[in-house]
Structure 1
Amino acid sequence: MPLNPSFASLTRRLGKGTGSGLLTGWVGLPDPLVAGVVATEPFDAVVLDMQHGFVDLHSVVQGIAQVALAGKPAVVRIPVGHFATASRILDAGAAGVIAPMVNSAADARALVTYTKYPPVGARSWGPAIALNVCGLTAPEYLAQANALTATIAMVETREALAAVDEILAVDGIDGILVGPGDLSIALSNGASVDPMAAEVDAALAHVAQRCKAHGKAACTFVTTGAKGADVIRMGYDFVALGTDVMQLRAGSNAFIKACREA
């Protein structure tokens, strides 16, 4: 069976610390129609957020389908430590998994256990919906899934930043996503949340360099388009441009301001 090109577009277009700059929407609202609407915009992928968003397992399965209908790959951020959920997400047809608070090589290896089939990991077999999304037969999926689905570990603490080389060296980790908000809290010892802080920029540059050295994808989240351009110049391959709620508020404010000023 032919491989669905939209499913494969994530890993095949994802750079390795080279600034390939795939842009993704970020959805935390649980109605799958929101994911579908975001996917119809010119994003390269859509992230469904089960950590800080309100997306549960039922709505994430429907959201993945909506994103797939729009011809885009869906990536899911799982809750902290819910590595077993990663397997279910991939079985539902996600093209990638983002795991928050991966602080060590041991954490990274535990994540890979659930996201990659042997010999890399120990993911259990059961990709019934994933076969519909990717277009492959079961034997084809087994042979290609490890390469076609991205396992991305989040670096957002001092501990993780210090262990970034060890995390990147784990076989099966395809990239790192810097969480600038939590990292800013960690680097300021809880004094502030400022993803634009100079020390966060320094950490972003460092992670991009280490990703390039290891041949793994550099990923992050930004709150403005200008910052997105900045991190792509640093070498980032996968950039989330705010959240659905942020964009809803920004769009509403822009319409209201334009009307009142006219």
Structure 2
Amino acid sequence: MSLASRLRSGETLLSAWSALPEPLTIEAVARTAFDAVTLDMQHGGHDEQSVLYGLGLILALGKPPVVRIPVGRFDMASRALDFGAEAVIAPMINSVEDAERFAAAMKYPPVGERSWGPFRSNAGYGERGSNDYLTNANRETLAFAMIETRAAFEALDGILGVRGIDGVFVGPGDFSIAWSNGRESNPASDALVEPLTEIARKASAVGKLAGIYAPNPDFARRYNPLGYRFITVSHDTSYIQLGAKALVDAIKA
């Protein structure tokens, strides 16, 4: 089943977060127990080439690949899909206009304006000359609009109402900065529980998905019951550090 089908059926899926662009690191992360792998182009080291090669590795290992594009790079959203991504996360979607531009890049007509350019023959395009991918792509590739500012929160109803936006994805670090009026970056702040609950509730009410970045397992356990079912957990450099610490602590104990 695709990432989209599993999420819409009610599953909670945990995604690894890849910031390191080296292919061997991407492959190692894709071999873990995570359900999916997200490549980060916004704050991570990924560029178009590492996304192109990384998506192939992830697909070959049977995991659904996701890409977070840089701010405003809606052209890269289309390219990520052509390279084989099953979902794209777009940061700083602060208005209905932002959401409409993102959706246009993600969906084929008549929903959007995505240009036809299948690149990976093994990424679900179907037999050459068929319309299998064209028929299913708008439903089976997910557009997640990031909600991480007060402006985005205030425009949430309109963003969720944009045809072609499949869900919202919360960046709790930036959201905590915005919600505290610049006083702190604290995703664990109790002040965030009410607005983040509202985001998930509103998404569910209109039949759309809610995802969130979880810096740690406690955060994931806190927000999963509130309606967030696509959860990206920490990042690859943290996995290395935590694994090394566990080994060293075990030996010293």
Identify the match of residue 180 of structure 1 among 169, 172, 184.
Answer: 172
**Number of the residue aligned with 1:13:** 6
Q: In 2, distance between residues paired with 1:243 and 1:128? A: 28
Q: Deviations over 1:35-88 (max 9, x none)?
A: 221111121111000000001100111110111111011000000000011111
Superposed, 1:115-194 pairs within 5 Å as 115-129=106-120, 131-137=121-127, 138-194=130-186
Displacement of 1:33 in angstroms is 2.0
2 CA distance for matches of 1:218 and 1:128? 29
**Is contact 1:78-1:97 (8 Å) kept?**
yes
* Residue in 2 that maps onto 1:66: 57
Q: Which residue of 1 aligns with 2:219?
A: 227
Q: Assess if the C-alpha contact under 8 Å between 1:28 and 1:49 holds in 2.
A: yes
Which digits, 9 at most, give the CA deviation of each residue in 1:192-229, with x for residues without a partner?
A: 11000112222221111001101100100112212212
Listed as ranges, the matches of 1:1-262 within 5 Å are 5=1, 9-15=2-8, 20-129=11-120, 131-137=121-127, 138-260=130-252, 262=253
In terms of mean alpha carbon deviation, does 191-200 or 250-259 score higher? 250-259
Structure 2 residue matching 1:191: 3-state secondary structure? coil
C-alpha distance in structure 2 between counterparts of 1:123 and 1:196, whole Å:
38
User: Normalising to structure 2: TM-score of the pair?
Assistant: 0.95
CA contact (8 A) 1:50 1:78 kept: yes
Task: State whether residues 125 and 132 of structure 2, in contact with CA within 8 Å, keep that contact through their aligned partners in structure 1.
Answer: no
C-alpha contact 1:101 1:154 (8 A) present in aligned 2: yes
Structure 2 Cα separation of the partners of residues 248 and 135 of structure 1: 35
Question: 2:67·2:87 contact (CA, 8 Å) conserved in 1?
Answer: yes
* Worse-matched range after superposition: 34-43 or 112-121: 34-43
Q: Provide the secondary structure at the position in 1 that maps to 2:186.
A: coil
CA distance in structure 2 between the partners assigned to 1:42 and 1:215 by the alignment: 28
SS at match of 1:177: strand
Q: Can you list the C-alpha shifts for 1:8-45, whole angstroms capped at 9, x where unaligned? A: x20001138x6x32110000100122222111112111
- Which SS does the other structure have where 2:221 is aligned? helix
Deviates further, 29-38 or 208-217? 29-38
Q: Percent identity?
A: 45
In structure 1, what is the Cα distance between the partners aligned to 2:241 and 2:219?
19
Q: How many residues align?
A: 251
Cα contact 1:33–1:66 (8 A) shared by 2: no
Aligned counterparts of 2:248 and 2:194: Cα–Cα separation in 1: 37
CA-based RMSD: 1.3
Larger mean Cα displacement after TM superposition, 38-47 or 211-220: 38-47
Check 1:204–1:15 CA distance in 2 against 1; reply closer, same or farther (3 A cut).
farther
Contact 2:67–2:80 (8 Å) recurs in 1: yes
Query: Larger RCO: Structure 1 or Structure 2 (Cα < 8 Å, ≥ 6 residues apart)?
Result: 1
Contact 2:87 2:143 in 1 (8 A): yes
Q: Displacement of 1:135 after TM fit?
A: 4.9
The 8 Å contact of residues 228 and 241 in structure 1, kept in 2 or not, is answered as yes
- 1:202 and 1:15 map into 2 onto residues whose CA distance is 24
The answer (yes or no) to whether the contact 1:32–1:60 under 8 Å persists in 2 is no
Unpaired segments ≥5 residues, structure 2: none
Give me the TM-score of the superposition, normalised by structure 1: 0.92
| Ranges in structure 1 where 5+ consecutive residues have no aligned partner | none
State the distance in 2 between where 1:85 and 1:250 align: 32
